[in-house]
């Protein structure tokens, strides 16, 4: 049945070696001829395009990076400044009043204390907290980010970063998957399919976690606002807070490049692929449509996921806080066990326990930390357990963390670093497994960031203590 | 080397309310269009949506199905294959969004996927979305698809953007050159969707689609070899419509097509309909 193939081979021998190139060339000649005959070009108008002028700035070796910094800083600043008021409102409505009403309601119908505790103090409170902390920043951040994407800016970022990625032995398209990761790491890992070489694809998968995802932005923004912004005069607080978030993003890009470089020099050695990156034309963003889709598709989707994760996590938090083993609650035992490690890396036992509870979703880190601090911290400090109801706004969350949790600026800074550098959420880990089908690489992608997080946080804690800042 | 397109006629029972959905009347001039989202129910025709990256394929897909697949302004955004459906003039269509590719030369997984669907999936209509501002760069893909099949509609998208850049495309001339309908569109604004639907319906129902495009090679030796081998392909697989395209691939030593010759899959391309 291979007579045809033999014929083909015989005919091919009669043709020059570059027959493939000639066929392609012939195709492109025809395409050029048809295009030439069908297109009428008004060159005078074509030269006036804003695109070229914009690209000259946005992809400039120096101005390009500056513009990148300014644009992202602007996005974060808008998010931080704009989310404060609605966040406070939601907080008062859902966490303070909503919780009190629900508690009264449960008391009124004579529900047993453990049921009220599990459902109201656990499930409801965690969920309400997630909504109050996450909804406003997401509702501002996603539309802004999507507008940039719609405008055609993201490929320019990839273009700017391409040289850096090429130098670290990674694929230039990794800049694009990294951008996807800023939305969601699971999506970013899936997006690495655009990289054909397995070696470069693995590098992109392993380093995708260094792009801060949806679930982690709120933690960074909150820490930046409460702790970092608080050390400067109020007038500058917003700028410094946004600056601290941008700083973490830049550290993330640095770590991405460094880890890519290390991997491509050691276990994932090989050739760099060549590729062409098409810079699409700038398009006026469709503002209303973008607002609609980014709120429906991204904000609500992420929020739904957060809620689905927060509800059981709330129950777990309440249970470990209220089930006693011997003289202390399960949570207290765990916190005590984690405390030494936590201290070494400039965090504390509560934070490490919170990361354990929040493996399914990073979104619930802050609520988990606050609730655990209140349950465990309140007992150790001898404060009334009802203190959590008096939390009014971000500043009060901060004061609770400081007074009941013993937090310092070092704790906050290290939490920001740890937010960047820790294991991916379980969804991302599953996605990595699906995409690589390799236990080894899934393990590497999970544990490498965690190890880095421990190392970096231990280093900053050590230095800070040595210098006497903490 | 599968044929990953579903075959018509399977699926849940027909939607009685096709054409009667309230939100569909919103789309201008296409009152006969019922967008069925991801659940096309029973369908009569399969459409493959092809095109270079970042030509607005996803926008066209959304305009037809009413789905809101995320649309990004960068090449390579659509990684996973999306499917959806719509009904037009009482006829059900299932539409498969292929990954954006610059060619079908099989240099990447995406190109392999797109080529296999186009060749072995034998869709009833291939809609090729083309960027009017970059016609020259988009045409090679159109020509390659035209070499495989005549059941093609070219959606000349982004004509509004082209106009802003001082570019006008003569669609009548392009139609003559390519031998298939060319529809000017600005899919972001919903312009051209009714024309596209009409063209799709026409191509889907015709019993006599245009023959696959014959590109005559100027290189005489190459042209002789192609003609020679194409005749042998036809002798070996009677009724294969795109023998010249197959011959080209065999001359290149394309592994996928060689495999299809070896296991006889290529013979399936001779449809009873087209042979009759």
Express each pLDDT in A86-114 by its tens digit. 888 888 898 888 988 999 999 999 889 88
Report pLDDT for B39. Answer: 62
Q: What is the CATH number of the domain that holds B126?
A: 3.40.50.300
3-state secondary structure of A283: coil
Of B164, B233, B253, the CB nearest to A4: B233
- Please list the residues that pair with B187 across neighbouring strands: none
Whether residues B246 and B173 share a domain: the answer is no
Question: Could you report the per-residue pLDDT of B119-164, keeping only the tens digit for each?
Answer: 888 899 999 999 998 898 899 999 999 999 999 999 999 999 888 8
Report pLDDT for B259. Answer: 86
pLDDT band at B81 (very low <50, low <70, confident <90, very high): low
3-state secondary structure of B103: coil
Report pLDDT for B50. Answer: 92
- Please list the residues that pair with B95 across neighbouring strands: B47, B84
Report pLDDT for A395. Answer: 65
* CA distance linking residue B95 with residue B83, whole number of Å: 6
Whether residues B49 and B102 share a domain: the answer is yes
With beta carbons less than 8 A apart as the criterion, state whether B93 and B47 touch.
Answer: yes
* CA distance linking residue A415 with residue A342, whole number of Å: 11
Question: Quick check: B170 and A40 CB within 8 A?
Answer: yes
Within-domain flag for B84: yes
Whether residues B176 and B98 share a domain: the answer is yes
Q: For chain A, give the mean pLDDT.
A: 83
Report pLDDT for B78. Answer: 52
With beta carbons less than 8 A apart as the criterion, state whether A174 and A200 touch.
Answer: yes
Distance from CA of A117 to the nearest CA of B (A): 41
> Between A63-90 and A125-151, two packed helices, what is the crossing angle to 10 degrees?
150
Query: Mean pLDDT throughout A154-178?
Result: 83
How does DSSP classify residue A91? I
Dihedral, CA atoms, A217, A420, A361, A154, nearest 10 degrees? 50
Q: Residue B110 burial (CB < 10 Å; 0-12/13-18/19+)? A: buried
Whether residues B79 and B151 share a domain: the answer is yes
How does DSSP classify residue B21? -
pLDDT band at A167 (very low <50, low <70, confident <90, very high): confident
Token pair 């590098």 is at which residue?
A203
With beta carbons less than 8 A apart as the criterion, state whether A224 and A409 touch.
Answer: no
Whether residues B234 and B194 share a domain: the answer is no
Question: Could you report the per-residue pLDDT of B58-71, keeping only the tens digit for each?
Answer: 889 988 887 766 55
Report pLDDT for A383. Answer: 41
Cβ neighbours of residue B103 closer than 8 Å, sequence gap 6 or more: A24, B111, B140, B141, B144
* CA distance linking residue A103 with residue A119, whole number of Å: 10
Report pLDDT for A454. Answer: 96
Report the 3 state secondary structure along A207-263. Answer: HHHHCCCCCCHHHHHHHHHHHHHHHCCHHHHHHHHHHHHHHHHHHHHHHHHHHHHHH
Residues in chain B: 276
Report pLDDT for B71. Answer: 55
With beta carbons less than 8 A apart as the criterion, state whether A22 and B222 touch.
Answer: yes
Distance from CA of B104 to the nearest CA of A (A): 11
Per DSSP, the residues of B33-45 read EEE-TT---S-SE
Whether residues B40 and B119 share a domain: the answer is yes
Dihedral, CA atoms, A161, A163, A166, A172, nearest 10 degrees? 40
Query: Mean pLDDT throughout B204-227?
Result: 87
Alpha-carbon A277 to chain mean position = 25
Within-domain flag for B120: yes
Of A1, A46, A150, the CB nearest to B165: A46
Q: Residue B32 burial (CB < 10 Å; 0-12/13-18/19+)? A: middle
Whether residues B122 and B177 share a domain: the answer is yes
Cβ neighbours of residue A310 closer than 8 Å, sequence gap 6 or more: A126, A127, A129, A130, A361, A363, A364, A367
Cβ neighbours of residue B145 closer than 8 Å, sequence gap 6 or more: B50, B104, B118, B126, B128, B152
Closest CA to A138 of A263, A305, A327, A329: A305
* CA distance linking residue A462 with residue B2, whole number of Å: 59
Whether residues B50 and B115 share a domain: the answer is yes
* CA distance linking residue A189 with residue A181, whole number of Å: 7
Within-domain flag for B276: no
Residues 284-323 of A with CB under 8 A from B: 286, 293, 296-297
A463 is written with which tokens? 């230095």
The ipTM estimated for the assembled molecules is 0.80
* CA distance linking residue A34 with residue A264, whole number of Å: 44
Residues of chain B in contact with residue A281, where contact means CB-CB under 8 angstroms, are: 133, 161, 165
Q: Give yes or no for residue B80 having a pLDDT over 60.
A: no
Within-domain flag for B231: yes
Domain final position from B175, B205, B235:
B205
Q: Give yes or no for residue B32 having a pLDDT over 60.
A: yes
Report pLDDT for A242. Answer: 87
Question: Could you report the per-residue pLDDT of A268-313, keeping only the tens digit for each?
Answer: 887 776 666 667 778 777 788 778 877 777 777 767 877 887 888 8
Closest CA to B76 of A224, A171, A98: A171
Q: Give yes or no for residue A462 having a pLDDT over 80.
A: yes
Whether residues B100 and B160 share a domain: the answer is yes
Task: List the Cα angle B185/B187/B190 in 5-degree steps.
Answer: 100
Domain final position from B177, B205, B233:
B205
Of A7, A29, A278, the CB nearest to B232: A7
pLDDT band at A18 (very low <50, low <70, confident <90, very high): confident
- Please list the residues that pair with B128 across neighbouring strands: B50, B154
Range(s) of the domain holding residue B66? 28-205
Q: Give yes or no for residue B270 having a pLDDT over 80.
A: no
Whether residues B167 and B39 share a domain: the answer is yes
Cβ neighbours of residue A459 closer than 8 Å, sequence gap 6 or more: none
Report pLDDT for B38. Answer: 63
Whether residues B201 and B226 share a domain: the answer is no
* CA distance linking residue A241 with residue A239, whole number of Å: 5
Residues of chain A in contact with residue B73, where contact means CB-CB under 8 angstroms, are: 149-152, 154-155, 280, 283
Report pLDDT for A25. Answer: 84
Residues of chain A in contact with residue B164, where contact means CB-CB under 8 angstroms, are: 49
Whether residues B258 and B173 share a domain: the answer is no
Side-chain-facing half-sphere of B230: CA atoms under 13 Å: 17
* Interface mutation target, options B136, B231, B269, chain A, most CBs of A under 10 Å: B136
Q: Does A53 touch chain B (CB under 8 A)?
A: no
Q: Is residue A329 within a helix (H) or strand (E), and if so which, with residue range? A: strand A328-329
Query: Mean pLDDT throughout B159-180?
Result: 91
Q: For chain B, give the mean pLDDT.
A: 79
Report pLDDT for B74. Answer: 52
Closest CA to A157 of A66, A275, A78: A66
Token pair 């495989």 is at which residue?
B148
Closest CA to B159 of B138, B142, B145, B180: B138
Alpha-carbon B150 to chain mean position = 10
* CA distance linking residue A154 with residue A446, whole number of Å: 27
Question: Could you report the per-residue pLDDT of B230-248, keeping only the tens digit for each?
Answer: 999 888 888 788 889 889 8
B241 is written with which tokens? 């419509």
Closest CA to B87 of B27, B45, B123, B58: B45
Within-domain flag for B210: no
Domain final position from B157, B180, B205:
B205
pTM: predicted TM-score of the whole model, two decimal places: 0.65
Within-domain flag for B145: yes
Report pLDDT for A431. Answer: 87
Within-domain flag for B46: yes
* Interface mutation target, options A4, A178, A277, chain B, most CBs of B under 10 Å: A4
Q: Residue A302 burial (CB < 10 Å; 0-12/13-18/19+)? A: buried
Within-domain flag for B6: no
Q: Give yes or no for residue B15 having a pLDDT over 50.
A: no
Q: Give yes or no for residue B3 having a pLDDT over 60.
A: no
Domain count, chain B: 2
Higher pLDDT residue, A50 or A466?
Answer: A466
Higher pLDDT residue, A169 or B107?
Answer: A169
């Amino acid at each position: 049945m291979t007579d045809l193939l033999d014929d083909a081979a015989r005919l091919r021998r009669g043709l020059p070696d570059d027959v493939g190139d000639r066929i392609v060339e012939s195709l492109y000649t025809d395409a050029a001829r048809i295009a030439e005959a069908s297109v009428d070009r008004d060159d005078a108008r074509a030269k006036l395009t804003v695109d070229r002028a914009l690209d000259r700035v946005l992809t400039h070796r120096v101005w390009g990076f500056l513009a990148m910094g300014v644009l992202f800083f602007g996005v974060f600043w808008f998010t931080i400044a704009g989310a404060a008021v609605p966040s406070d409102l939601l907080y008062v409505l859902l966490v303070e009043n909503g919780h009190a009403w629900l508690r009264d309601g449960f008391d009124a119908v004579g529900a047993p204390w453990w049921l009220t505790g599990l459902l109201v103090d656990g499930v409801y409170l965690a969920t309400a907290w997630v909504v109050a902390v996450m909804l406003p920043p997401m509702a501002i951040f996603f539309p802004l980010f999507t507008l940039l994407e719609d405008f055609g800016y993201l490929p320019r970022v990839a273009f700017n970063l391409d040289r850096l990625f090429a130098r670290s032995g990674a694929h230039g398209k990794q800049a694009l998957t990294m951008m996807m990761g800023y939305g969601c790491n699971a999506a970013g890992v899936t997006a690495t399919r655009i990289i054909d070489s397995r070696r470069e694809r693995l590098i992109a998968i392993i380093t995708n976690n260094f792009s801060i995802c949806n679930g982690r932005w709120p933690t960074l923004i909150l820490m930046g606002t409460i702790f970092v912004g608080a050390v400067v005069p109020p007038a500058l607080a917003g700028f410094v807070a946004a600056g601290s978030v941008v700083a973490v993003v830049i550290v993330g890009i640095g770590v991405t490049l460094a880890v890519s470089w290390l991997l491509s020099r050691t276990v994932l050695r090989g050739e760099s692929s060549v590729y062409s990156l098409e810079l699409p034309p700038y398009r006026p963003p469709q503002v209303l449509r973008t607002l609609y889709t980014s709120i429906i598709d991204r904000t609500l989707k992420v929020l739904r996921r957060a809620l689905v994760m927060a509800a059981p996590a709330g129950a777990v938090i309440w249970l470990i806080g209220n089930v006693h083993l011997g003289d202390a609650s399960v949570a207290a035992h765990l916190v005590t066990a984690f405390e030494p490690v936590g201290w070494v890396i400039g965090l504390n036992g509560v934070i490490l326990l919170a990361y354990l509870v929040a493996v399914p979703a990073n979104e619930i880190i802050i609520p988990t930390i606050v609730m655990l601090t209140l349950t465990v911290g309140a007992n150790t400090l001898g404060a009334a357990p009802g203190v959590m109801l008096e939390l009014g706004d971000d500043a009060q969350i901060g004061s609770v963390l400081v007074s009941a949790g013993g937090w310092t600026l070092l704790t906050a800074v290290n939490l920001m670093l740890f937010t960047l550098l820790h294991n991916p959420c379980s969804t991302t880990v599953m996605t990595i497994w699906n995409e690589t089908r390799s236990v080894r690489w899934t393990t590497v992608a999970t544990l490498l960031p965690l190890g880095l997080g421990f190392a970096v946080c231990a280093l900053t804690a050590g230095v800070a203590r040595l210098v006497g800042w903490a | 080397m599968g044929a990953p397109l579903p075959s018509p006629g399977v699926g849940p029972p027909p939607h009685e309310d096709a054409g009667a959905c309230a939100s569909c009347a919103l789309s201008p001039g296409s009152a006969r269009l019922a967008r069925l989202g991801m659940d096309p129910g029973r369908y009569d025709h399969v459409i493959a949506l092809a095109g270079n990256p970042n030509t607005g394929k996803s926008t066209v897909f959304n305009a037809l199905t009413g789905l809101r697949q995320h649309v990004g302004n960068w090449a390579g955004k659509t990684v996973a294959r999306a499917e959806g459906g719509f009904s037009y003039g009482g006829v059900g269509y299932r539409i498969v969004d292929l990954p954006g590719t610059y060619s079908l030369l099989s240099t990447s997984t995406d190109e392999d996927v797109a080529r296999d669907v186009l060749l072995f999936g034998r869709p009833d209509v291939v809609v090729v979305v083309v960027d009017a501002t970059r016609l020259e760069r988009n045409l090679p893909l159109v020509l390659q698809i035209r070499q495989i099949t005549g059941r093609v509609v070219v959606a000349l998208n982004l004509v509004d953007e082209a106009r802003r850049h001082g570019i006008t495309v003569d669609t009548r001339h392009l139609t003559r050159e390519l031998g298939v309908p060319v529809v000017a569109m600005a899919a972001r604004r919903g312009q051209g969707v009714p024309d596209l639907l009409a063209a799709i319906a026409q191509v889907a129902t015709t019993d006599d689609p245009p023959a696959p495009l014959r590109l005559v090679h100027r290189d005489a030796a190459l042209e002789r070899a192609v003609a020679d081998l194409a005749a042998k392909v036809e002798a070996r697989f009677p009724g294969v419509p795109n023998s010249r395209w197959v011959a080209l691939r065999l001359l290149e030593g394309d592994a996928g097509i060689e495999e299809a010759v070896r296991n006889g899959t290529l013979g399936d391309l001779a449809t009873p309909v087209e042979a009759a």
